[in-house]
């Protein structure tokens, strides 16, 4: 069952002010449109007041039939009632249980590099979420920058995309965001878990951020905890133990990773070192599923933004948006605008008000479990 985006509708239920202004201010230096972070505030209880309470009550009522449908669908696949199709090449799926960004893209990029270094011809298979016909999705455009030589095939029927990839010479298929797409068989099922928000408020969408119940972790062949540098060792251990409780054993490989910024990328494809940000007044800009994690990444680098603008996930920037970004840049006296690679591909601007616009390019670094992962990858035929 694919994710249905009702974030905007839900937000209007609990904050009528969103109807009156393009921004929702959170704190003195934090402005945002009705986006994923605002939805999180509603479902995790940070949004208070009568309307917010009523909104959560309404979402709880919707959660019941939604979860029932998810369970019914999973039952169908678990008991071979629904058909699973096999591709003509090995399939490695990378996915997650929660809505929003958990760090799948850096892992997909790492896997593609790994297979290429082992004389394989990887291809990336995706649904092409919110992409117009003939255009790349946000994630596909980002991966094209990170992996210019790796082909990417998008189709809602991913088995069709897989067939096209094999026909054109690919011999290993990376299924991006494929955990819930159970129509296609996979040889390895990897699930990413964001250490900063591992369990999606422990509620099923739309009352929480879970796409399906946590027992879905049992389907994973390995569990990959991402952004571990943003939480304590104690928290990481607690997440691991909770995950294994849902899995039912401690036998599955447990892998921990950090997201490591490597450089700044400009719209013309050139890069600059991270030290470019030193002593600069930074405006942070993003339209992703977990904008808080991006903000924390900048902060952990020692660069606290003077202001942060976030837009809804997968947002397509308009002329009005550019004008708002320009106004905010001038208002806070920003000297540089830092965004995500996913956003840079949708903002073909070299600068805003003569302030440079650049993306923080992020890679993955393994803290534990790399040998376990490579053992699984080496078993792929």
Q: What is the mean pLDDT of residues 280-289?
A: 92
Per-residue pLDDT tens over the stretch 137-169: 677 888 888 899 999 999 999 999 999 999 999
- For residues 99 and 43, give the distance between their C-alpha atoms in angstroms, rounded to a whole number: 12
Q: Which of 191, 188, 186 is nearest to 210 (CA)?
A: 191
Q: How confident is the model at residue 132 (pLDDT cuts 50, 70, 90)?
A: low
Percent of the chain residues topping a pLDDT of 90:
67
Is pLDDT of 125 > 60?
A: yes
Tell me how far apart the alpha carbons of residues 10 and 6 are, in angstroms, rounded to a whole number.
Answer: 6
Mean pLDDT of 262-291: 92
CATH topology of domain 91-259+365-378: Rossmann fold (3.40.50)
Residue 202's pLDDT is: 92
Could you tell me the pLDDT band of residue 281, with boundaries at 50, 70 and 90?
A: very high
Domains 91-259+365-378 and 262-362 share a fold: yes
Which pLDDT score is estimated for 129?
A: 57
pLDDT of residue 35: 56
Collect all residues with Cβ–Cβ distance below 8 Å to 80 and sequence separation of at least 6.
none
The pLDDT tens digits of the residues spanning 12-57 come to 333 333 333 333 333 334 343 445 667 788 888 888 889 888 989 9
Better-scored residue on pLDDT, 222 or 318: 222
Lowest mean pLDDT among 4-13, 125-134, 196-205, 331-340: 4-13
pLDDT of residue 36: 64
> What are the residue boundaries of the structural domains of the chain, listed by start?
91-259+365-378, 262-362
- The pLDDT value given to residue 166: 98
Provide the percentage of residues in the chain whose pLDDT is more than 70: 88
What is the pLDDT at residue 288? Answer: 87
Which CATH number is 262-362 given?
3.40.50.2300
Q: Which residues pair with 362 in a beta bridge?
A: 261
Residue 380 scores a pLDDT above 70: yes
Section 212-217 average pLDDT: 96
Mean pLDDT, the chain, whole residue set: 87
What pLDDT does 130 receive? 54
Can you give the pTM of this predicted structure?
Answer: 0.84
CA distance 381 to 370: 19
In tens, the pLDDT along 78-102 reads 999 999 999 999 999 999 999 877 8
Residue 252: band (very low, low, confident or very high) from pLDDT cuts 50, 70, 90? very high
Q: Yes or no: say if 192 and 254 are a contact pair by the CB < 8 Å rule.
A: no
For residue 179, the model assigns a pLDDT of 96
């Amino acid at each position: 069952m694919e994710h249905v985006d009702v974030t905007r509708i839900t937000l209007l239920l609990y904050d009528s002010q969103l109807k009156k202004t393009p921004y929702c201010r959170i704190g003195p230096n934090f402005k945002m449109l009705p986006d994923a972070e605002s939805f999180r505030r509603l479902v995790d209880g940070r949004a208070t007041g009568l309307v917010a309470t009523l909104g959560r009550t309404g979402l709880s009522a919707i959660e019941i039939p939604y979860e029932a449908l998810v369970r019914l669908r999973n039952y169908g696949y678990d008991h071979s009632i629904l058909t699973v199709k096999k591709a003509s090449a090995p399939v490695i799926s990378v996915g997650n249980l929660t809505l929003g960004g958990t760090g799948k893209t850096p892992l997909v990029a790492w896997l593609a590099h790994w297979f290429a270094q082992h004389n394989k011809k990887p291809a990336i298979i995706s649904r092409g979420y919110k992409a117009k016909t003939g255009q790349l999705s946000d994630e596909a455009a980002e991966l094209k920058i990170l992996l210019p030589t790796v082909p990417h095939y998008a189709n809602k029927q991913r088995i069709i995309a897989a067939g096209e990839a094999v026909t054109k010479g690919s011999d290993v298929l990376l299924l991006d965001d494929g955990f819930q797409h159970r129509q296609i068989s996979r040889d390895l099922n990897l699930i990413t878990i964001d250490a900063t928000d591992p369990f999606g408020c422990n509620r099923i969408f739309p009352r929480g951020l879970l796409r399906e119940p946590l027992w879905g972790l049992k389907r994973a062949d390995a569990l990959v905890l991402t952004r571990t540098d943003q939480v304590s060792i104690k928290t990481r251990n607690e997440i691991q133990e909770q995950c294994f409780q849902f899995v039912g054993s401690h036998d599955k490989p447990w892998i921990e990773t950090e997201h490591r910024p490597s450089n700044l990328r400009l719209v013309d494809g050139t890069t600059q070192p991270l030290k470019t940000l030193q002593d600069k007044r930074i405006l942070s800009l993003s339209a992703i599923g977990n904008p808080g994690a991006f903000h924390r990444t900048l902060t952990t680098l020692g660069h606290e933004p003077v202001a942060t603008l976030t837009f809804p996930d997968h947002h397509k920037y308009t002329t009005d948006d550019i004008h708002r970004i320009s106004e905010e840049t001038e208002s806070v006296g920003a000297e540089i605008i830092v965004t995500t690679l996913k956003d840079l591909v949708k903002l073909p601007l070299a600068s805003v008000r003569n302030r440079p616009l650049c993306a923080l390019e992020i890679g993955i670094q393994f803290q534990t479990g790399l040998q376990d992962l490579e053992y699984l990858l080496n078993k792929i035929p």
